[in-house]
Amino acid sequence: MHRSQKSASLPFIVWMVLFTIVPIILVIVYALQNGGGDFTLQNFVDFADPIYINVLLRSIGIALLCTAVCLLIGYPTAYFLTHKGLDKKGILILLFIIPMWMNFLVRTYAWLTLLESNGLITSTVNAIRHLFGAQDDVRLLYNYGAVLMGMVYNYLPFMILPLYTALDKMDKKVIEAAEDLGATKFQVFVKVVLPLSLPGIASGITMVFMPAVTTFVISRLLGGAQFKLFGDLIEQQFLFTGDWNFGSAMSLVMMALLLISMGLMNRFGDREGGGIL
């Protein structure tokens, strides 16, 4: 039995080695070398430039804001979906999952056409503004708000699904016991539902923050050349500048930040009754 389990896991081990461990080793090797292949830490010294630090802080800031917005929208939505009197719950959940079947790039391009100067949303907003006497047209594309909206749209399902799972698997007898003891609905939510759903919150935060802080497609399409995130800088180093060493150093910094955030959220989830990983 033990030998058969090892044989069954062999393809997974080979896959992990070839497409996870080997690429990470290559990134580390490139990050610690210069263009001539000599060992150096200059790539990390160059990264300390205020320009790159500011872009990194901007990326972290918008990723945190995106995560917060997704949590504020996703928690009430997931809570509503777990309501015991809700009919056709499966159809509503499917409506959140269906957009994820579509290619990520196609979904982002859809927002590009909606937010452009002649797009449906921009035209509607400007028409309403003109009715109230506004003379100028509002610009909804190539700014901070457009990038944030695109990120929230793409990553919101990753917040709703773990929250729904945590809330749906919650023991309803605990809630009934709290109500029988005289607790109000607000007290039941604050003292029972919210603490029991914290592992789902931790999972949702991790699943949204990680792709949000590393994204580059959304910022490129909806933010334009005026709005760059850290993922755009990494892509630029590899595809346009051709400085793989500096790009690898930037990637290594990003991986370290992601590992730290995952570790913190995993410890938080363990402490509250369920780990993320």
Domain residue limits, the chain: 64-271
Q: What pLDDT shows up at residue 276?
A: 40
For the chain, helix (H) and strand (E) counts, in that order, are: 15, 0
* Residue range 255-267: mean pLDDT, rounded: 85
How large a percentage of the chain has pLDDT more than 70?
93
Stated pTM of the model: 0.88
Q: What pLDDT shows up at residue 145?
A: 92
Highest mean predicted confidence (pLDDT) among 2-16, 59-73, 121-135: 59-73
Reading the block at residue 269, the tokens are 């989830």
* pLDDT confidence bin for 81, thresholds 50/70/90: confident
Q: For all residues of the chain together, what is the average pLDDT?
A: 88
Which of 134 and 22 is assigned the larger pLDDT? 22
* Residue range 39-50: mean pLDDT, rounded: 93
Q: How far apart are the first and last CA of the chain?
A: 26
Closest to 249 in 3D by CA, of 20, 25, 23, 47 = 47
Q: Is the pLDDT of residue 174 over 80?
A: yes
Q: Is the pLDDT of residue 60 over 80?
A: yes
Adjacent-strand bridge partners of 39: 33
Q: Cα–Cα distance between 9 and 126 in angstroms, integer?
A: 58
64-271 carries CATH number 3.40.50.720: no
Task: Please tell me whether residue 161 adopts helix, strand or coil conformation.
Answer: helix
Which single residue is written with the structure tokens 């030998």? 3
Q: Is the pLDDT of residue 275 over 70?
A: no
Q: Is the pLDDT of residue 116 over 60?
A: yes
Q: What pLDDT shows up at residue 65?
A: 97
Q: Cα–Cα distance between 235 and 247 in angstroms, integer?
A: 8
Tens of pLDDT, residues 176-234: 898 888 888 899 999 999 999 998 999 999 999 999 999 999 998 999 877 889 999 99
* Residue range 157-170: mean pLDDT, rounded: 92
Q: Is the pLDDT of residue 238 over 70?
A: yes
Taking the CA atoms of residue 23, residue 211, residue 257 and residue 68 in that order, the dihedral angle to the nearest 10 degrees is -170
Q: What pLDDT shows up at residue 4?
A: 65
Cβ-contact 39, 242 below 8 angstroms: no
